[in-house]
Structure 1
Amino acid sequence: MSTTTVLPRSTGRDRALLRAVAAGRCTVNDDACHSLAIDGVCFCDQFAAVRLAGAGLVEPAGRARGPRPLRLTDTGRSLLAAA
């Protein structure tokens, strides 16, 4: 018996954000992925990172306080590769 993983549906904006995360351009301020910045500038879609984190596509790197990199999860990498 095989197992099939269903990836979440994504928008063009979601995929662009995943590409920015993959390029190491994104930071967040907390574990809930609030206050997303891309290239040091606040991102206008305040819910995008929270939505992608909730879908298991991204996560903050490390446990430090303050701004830290956002990284792709295995699922996020799979979705980006399939796009």
Structure 2
Amino acid sequence: MTTTTRELSGRALATLRAVGAGRAELTSAREPDLYVDGLPCCDQTVTHDLVHAGLLRPTSVVAWGLRVRAELTDEGRAALGAA
């Protein structure tokens, strides 16, 4: 799936900025949940869309349900830089 900057909502861009700043964690799951500053993200649909679009990912594989730091992919950095 290709996502262009104009398709990203303000909330999606804010999510990418939080991930880029090292403030976010993803749970290990088929549909991962995002935590920012230790708190659950208010819009998990945005999280799922960004993960499925290949804009963010976990930094490593961990046991099911555990949290791991989230990171931007090259595509995520490009989308954020173009915003």
TM-score, normalised via structure 1 length: 0.84
Gaps of 5+ in 1: 1-5
Could you list the structure 1 runs, at least 4 aligned residues long, displaced by more than 6 angstroms after superposition. Answer: none
Distance in structure 2 (CA, Å) of the matches to 1:72 and 1:36 = 13
Instruction: Spell out, residue by residue over 1:27-80, the C-alpha distance to the aligned partner (whole angstroms, 9 max, x if none).
Output: 011153522110000111121211101111001111123110111000000000
- Higher helix share goes to which structure? 2
Q: CA deviation at 1:7?
A: 4.0
Q: CA deviation at 1:24?
A: 0.5
CA contact (8 A) 1:18 1:76 kept: yes
C-alpha RMSD of matched pairs (Å): 1.5
* 72-81 or 46-55, which deviates more: 46-55
Gaps of 5+ in 2: none
Q: Which has more radius of gyration?
A: 1
- Give aligned-pair identity as a percent: 37
TM-score, normalised via structure 2 length: 0.84
Number of positions where the alignment pairs a residue of Structure 1 with one of Structure 2: 78
